[in-house]
């Protein structure tokens, strides 16, 4: 378990260094721990080191870990592909923010359900900045329109944008994805859409968090660099063709 504490300290240092390099305050960047496939005892170790924000990709894993984690104060975001038939349960499990809203149909159904339960939900709009067909997210040229449409849905509160970015060993190849997301945010801010906040930019992972911070990330999502390598390849979670995802 000590590896987790060591890794978190290392990530915190990387965040601080990247912030200093780009003239930002480290308090502007939140660390979200991507906990897919990570067992509750390891997540609890991370909580005990002071971390409080986790993200899951699958409803099934939220359910499985719920009882073990519920007594530890934390915030949970949903960062995976959300199917409309899972909406009811995502709301029931009190997810604090869905970072992966990428289509109007999903937003409308989420809003309908929330309305019935007289609740609201924070969301981010996920943008496919890499153009890879295998990645989820609204295409950049349709993102502004989608934000406008979702803004009209009273029970969804848009807090910003999220992207996964090009998967590459070289963060410089991913940088244009982050730049694009940052530009989209500015474009949306300039439109001054009622009810739309554009505070958050969720981008950057284990291999490219420095680049993302330089480009303005406010939430970085880190899995491997904290918890170690996963058994499943990321395509298991990200690929449209995979029938098992939720």
- Residues engaged in binding ligand PLP (CB under 6 A): 34, 36, 57, 79, 164, 205-206, 221-225, 234, 237
- Among residues 153 and 166, whose Cβ is nearest to ligand PLP? 166
Kindly state the smallest distance separating residue 58's Cβ from ligand PLP, in Å: 10
- Among residues 17 and 154, whose Cβ is nearest to ligand PLP? 17
- Among residues 163 and 182, whose Cβ is nearest to ligand PLP? 163
Contact call for residues 103 and 82 (beta carbons, < 8 A): no
User: H or E segment at 200?
Assistant: strand 196-202
- Per DSSP, 185 falls in state H
Kindly state the smallest distance separating residue 234's Cβ from ligand PLP, in Å: 6
Kindly state the smallest distance separating residue 163's Cβ from ligand PLP, in Å: 9
3-state secondary structure of 6: helix
- Among residues 100 and 111, whose Cβ is nearest to ligand PLP? 100
User: How buried is residue 234: exposed, middle or buried, by Cβ count under 10 Å (0-12/13-18/19+)?
Assistant: middle
Q: Which residue is nearest to ligand PLP (CB)?
A: 223
Kindly state the smallest distance separating residue 56's Cβ from ligand PLP, in Å: 9
Compute CA distances 50 → 46, 121, 170, whole Å: 7, 25, 31
Kindly state the smallest distance separating residue 177's Cβ from ligand PLP, in Å: 13
- Among residues 35 and 182, whose Cβ is nearest to ligand PLP? 35
Per residue, the 3-state secondary structure of 78-134, as one string, reads ECCCCCHHHHHHHHHCCCCEEEEECCHHHHHHHHHHHHHCCCCEEEEEEECCCCCCC
Tokens of 189: 């801010």
- Among residues 150 and 164, whose Cβ is nearest to ligand PLP? 164
Q: What are the φ/ψ torsions at residue 113 (nearest 5 degrees)?
A: -65, -45
Kindly state the smallest distance separating residue 9's Cβ from ligand PLP, in Å: 16
- Among residues 132 and 234, whose Cβ is nearest to ligand PLP? 234
* Cα 156 to Cα 19: distance, rounded to the nearest angstrom: 31
User: How buried is residue 13: exposed, middle or buried, by Cβ count under 10 Å (0-12/13-18/19+)?
Assistant: exposed
Kindly state the smallest distance separating residue 126's Cβ from ligand PLP, in Å: 9
Tokens of 156: 């969804």
């Amino acid at each position: 378990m000590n590896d987790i504490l060591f890794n978190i300290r290392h990530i915190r240092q990387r965040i601080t260094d990247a912030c200093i390099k780009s003239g930002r305050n480290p308090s502007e960047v939140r660390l979200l721990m991507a906990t897919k496939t990570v067992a509750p005892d390891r997540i609890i170790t991370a909580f005990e080191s002071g971390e409080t924000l986790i993200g899951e990709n699958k409803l099934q894993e939220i359910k499985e870990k719920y009882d073990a984690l519920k007594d530890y104060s934390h915030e949970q975001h949903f960062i995976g592909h959300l199917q409309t038939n899972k909406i009811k349960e995502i709301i029931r499990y009190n997810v604090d923010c869905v970072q992966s809203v990428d289509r109007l149909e999903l937003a409308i159904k989420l809003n309908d359900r929330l309305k019935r339960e007289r609740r609201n939900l924070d969301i981010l709009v996920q943008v496919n900045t890499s153009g890879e067909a295998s990645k989820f997210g609204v295409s950049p040229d349709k993102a502004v329109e989608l934000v406008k449409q979702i803004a009209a849905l009273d029970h969804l509160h848009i807090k910003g944008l999220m992207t996964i970015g090009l998967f590459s060993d070289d963060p410089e190849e991913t940088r244009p994805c982050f730049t694009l997301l940052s530009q989209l945010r500015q474009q949306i801010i300039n439109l001054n859409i009622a009810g739309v906040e554009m505070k958050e930019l969720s981008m950057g992972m284990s291999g490219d968090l420095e680049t993302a911070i330089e480009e303005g990330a406010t939430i970085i999502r880190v899995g491997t660099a904290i918890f170690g390598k996963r058994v499943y390849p990321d395509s298991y979670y990200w690929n449209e063709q995979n029938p098992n995802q939720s």
